[in-house]
Structure 1
Amino acid sequence: MRLTTRQQTVDLPGVVGTARTDRRTRSLIPRLRPGDIAVLDHPALDRATAQRLVAADVAAVVNASPMVSGRYPNLGPDVLLRAGVPMVDGLGAAELDAIPDGAPVRLHEGRLLDATDAGGTRVLAAGRVVDADRLAEDLARARQGLATQLETFTHSSTAFLHREQDLLLHGIGVPAPATRIAGRTVVVVAGGHDVEAELRRLRSYLREQEPVIVAVGRSADTVGEAGRRADVVVLDAAEPSDVPTARSLKAARDVVVRTGRGTDGKETVDSLDRLGVRGLLMETDATAEDAALVLADAGDASVVIGVGMHATLEEFLDRERSGLASTYLTRLKLGPRLVDATAVPYLYSGRVRPHHLLLVMLAGLVALVAAVGVTPVGQEWADQLSDTLQGLLP
């Protein structure tokens, strides 16, 4: 990942930028511009959100809630730290309301100051600076609370299975795409932090095996940049900022729109209609990534390869709280058919190519000539060949 210079040269110390304020992170991220200071209220910042903030090239992140809540060791703050993005947390809801959206501000030593103040002393809000040492302490304390979180997770998984039993156990409610999936390998591409690198490692597999590619949201654009085309695109009606380009949507054979229980996803479907793309509705409280896995499972895929989705304990807990149960149960549903993309290069060496066969034939021919050459008949043939060659020379 390319790191940009976040600090700006100003007369007063600190980071200067335009404050973009919103309690809802989903609404805030699409409005961010390079150099903005993101002001949000996001307890336990997850890695996916942090990656979007880094991609938006923000100058700093100010959080009304703690970056690490203490319930589990979330991964988002470390992403910002490695990208060189200054962080301040613990402002509180009241101080967040005091920061006007679009105002020029300066962040210095945990204080958010009015950049238009000539004296540079007018404080809009103040919080706690989150640096490497403080983050390490917070994460160490959070790891002690994992047992409680796992117990809570067990109850939420039971409730989710009760709501989604028809979908998960019987495939009721899964749309029938035009793309043939039965008996084929399906590659599900999600928006993980290293999805581009994983696609590069799968390049020969994708070219030689031609699996069905199911892309989630803007991952369809990533697939296109890798020189492939997504056969199926799965959109989340609750994530309008995660919609790929019209080119990726039109190139796909099927577009599936995931809607939550009790919602219709009309806005997303209407936008697809304007592009001339017909959307298939899939009503479930599972995440869009898990809906893509369910779609592959219901279509009777032989193997499902997950790109950009990992299953370590910390990454698993770092997911959206509402998506934990669906992630866990969906992977149980697929069982041994689900393979992580990082394992494929170790399991697949590629097809046998013509030049491989030619090398084997040449090696066999050399071995045959050597074996014949040590026999009396071979020696006689060698002498005759030598005499013939000498007769041809002037």
Structure 2
Amino acid sequence: MRINNVRAAAVMEGVVRADRNTKRLLRHIRRGEIALICHDDLDEPAAEGLLRSGVKAVINSGRTMTSAFPHDGPLLLLREGIPIYEIDESSFELLQDGERIRIRDGTLTGLHAELVCYPFGYEEWERLKRTGERMYPLTLLGFAENTLHYAANELNSLTRPLTLPELNNPLETRDVLVVSRGSGCREDLAALRHYIRSAKPVLVGVDGGADVLVSQGYVPDLIIGDMDSVSDQTLRVGAQLLVHAYPDGWAPGLERIRQLGLASDTVAAPGTSEDLALRLSYEQGAARIVIVGSHSEPIDFLKKGRAGMASTLLVRMLVGHKLIDAKGASLWGSKKSQLHKFAAIVEGGALWRTSPYR
């Protein structure tokens, strides 16, 4: 694909909002501000979040693309005219949250620092994506070795049921719709309106996936995760909150919930919060589990900086006979036909399983 290069603005000025954690930054950045992040391989959900926040520009002290694998995160920003600049990682601390900066002729000037910055444009994205395509098989080799090694170690954990609190909405014999904040989740959820109206599934938001549900007029029954990417407003809609804890019981997200004065329970489990949501639904006797915005392939995990996907491999093997992955549902022909097609798939019991293991 050939894309014409677009020059960044000759002069860029604005207020910087800084946080090394992009998810956390999205909770407090304001429209028209400049995002200062430290994000290797800027992924699509992060780019979409920055766009929805109305950022003026993005300054990244990480490597916007490492070229270890191909992805389109930066492209989403560039297509909308949002310039991306890169600075050295060591320069992040030289800029203060809330200060006003100016970028001109490759120089970033702040209150107490003058830094070299480099525009990241279409040409860089194209070049690094091509390199990523060549490098991906080698990256995948290490990823697969990591996955298989840890899968062997974690296999026994599947035989031990989760320790769960009593759920406000029992899942037994019910359809469960799990919404995670993966690529295309908003469009795919919108494509399932007819299914949601007819099946009335229990709605489970995984971290920022709960915001996606609320943005389309739904109230999640459960919100599961480490609570690092879901908004305060969504946490207050009345859903039952289950904070994902590590197997040793440590739950990093619990402090935020306490600061908001909200009630919650913790659930200890290995793997991702999405894995926990699928496993919980399965163990609680869900008739079918439909997932939107899933993370089910190696690149999904590489974009999050994860070296493997052992838990996801095992959980997908466990729940696969009940799992319907709605990734790409928005592409199923016309809106009317795709809604009825999905409803027919679910109601007929024909389980569409999409996974990287087939």
Same fold? TM cut 0.5: yes
Aligned to 2:36: 39
Aligned to 1:293: 278
> How much identity, in percent, do the aligned residues show?
26
Aligned to 2:78: 81
The answer to whether the 8 A contact 1:218-1:244 is kept is no
Greater mean alpha carbon deviation, residues 314-323 or residues 287-296: 314-323
What CA deviation, in whole Å up to 9, does each residue of 1:165-200 have, x standing for no partner? 454343344555242222222110112343333233
Letter in 1 for 2:255: E
Picking from 320, 331, 341, the partner of 1:335 is: 320
Greater mean alpha carbon deviation, residues 130-139 or residues 225-234: 225-234
Q: Does 1:228 align with 2:218?
A: yes
Number of aligned residue pairs: 329
Aligned to 2:145: 155
Residue 27 of structure 1: how far off its partner (Å): 4.2
Compared CA separation, residues 229 and 192, structure 1 to 2 (3 A): same
Aligned to 1:217: 207
SS of residue paired to 2:267: strand
Question: With CA pairs under 8 Å and 6+ residues apart, which has the higher RCO, 1 or 2?
Answer: 2
The answer to whether the 8 A contact 1:109-1:129 is kept is no
Matches within 5 A, 1:254-293: 254-262=240-248, 263-265=250-252, 266-271=254-259, 274-275=261-262, 277=263, 279-293=264-278
Aligned to 1:348: 343
Query: Structure 1 or 2: larger helix share?
Result: 1
SS of residue paired to 2:108: strand
Aligned to 1:25: 22
CA distance in 2, matches of 1:209, 1:240: 28
Residue 108 of structure 1: how far off its partner (Å): 3.3
Compared CA separation, residues 39 and 230, structure 1 to 2 (3 A): closer
Residue 255 of structure 1: how far off its partner (Å): 2.2
Give structure 2 stretches of 5+ with no counterpart: 1-6, 333-337, 348-358
Matches within 5 A, 1:137-216: 137-161=127-151, 164-216=154-206
CA distance in 1, matches of 2:78, 2:143: 28
Compared CA separation, residues 213 and 106, structure 1 to 2 (3 A): same
CA distance in 2, matches of 1:137, 1:302: 47
Matches within 5 A, 1:91-130: 91-114=87-110, 124-130=114-120
SS of residue paired to 1:348: helix
Residue 87 of structure 1: how far off its partner (Å): 0.8
What CA deviation, in whole Å up to 9, does each residue of 1:326-372 have, x standing for no partner? 334332332232212217733424999xxxxxxxxxxxxxxxxxxxx
The answer to whether the 8 A contact 1:181-1:300 is kept is yes
The answer to whether the 8 A contact 2:26-2:50 is kept is yes
Residue 68 of structure 1: how far off its partner (Å): 0.8
Letter in 2 for 1:348: A
Aligned to 1:245: 234
The answer to whether the 8 A contact 1:290-1:327 is kept is yes
Residue 271 of structure 1: how far off its partner (Å): 4.4
CA distance in 2, matches of 1:22, 1:201: 34
CA distance in 2, matches of 1:110, 1:340: 45
Q: Does 1:309 align with 2:294?
A: yes
Residue 305 of structure 1: how far off its partner (Å): 0.8
Residue 38 of structure 1: how far off its partner (Å): 1.7
CA distance in 1, matches of 2:80, 2:310: 30
Compared CA separation, residues 170 and 123, structure 1 to 2 (3 A): closer
The answer to whether the 8 A contact 1:99-1:125 is kept is no
Letter in 1 for 2:284: G
What CA deviation, in whole Å up to 9, does each residue of 1:132-168 have, x standing for no partner? 1221111110121112222222233235435644543
The answer to whether the 8 A contact 1:47-1:76 is kept is yes
CA distance in 2, matches of 1:35, 1:240: 21
SS of residue paired to 2:64: coil
Residue 104 of structure 1: how far off its partner (Å): 1.2
What CA deviation, in whole Å up to 9, does each residue of 1:234-281 have, x standing for no partner? 1315x1655553542x2x3x3211122441454245347x34x3x221
Q: Does 1:54 align with 2:36?
A: no
SS of residue paired to 2:26: helix
Residue 313 of structure 1: how far off its partner (Å): 5.7
Letter in 2 for 1:188: V
What CA deviation, in whole Å up to 9, does each residue of 1:74-117 have, x standing for no partner? 3321222223210122x223333333332211223443234x8x
Give structure 1 stretches of 5+ with no counterpart: 1-6, 117-121, 353-394
Picking from 54, 60, 64, the partner of 1:63 is: 60
The answer to whether the 8 A contact 2:162-2:267 is kept is no
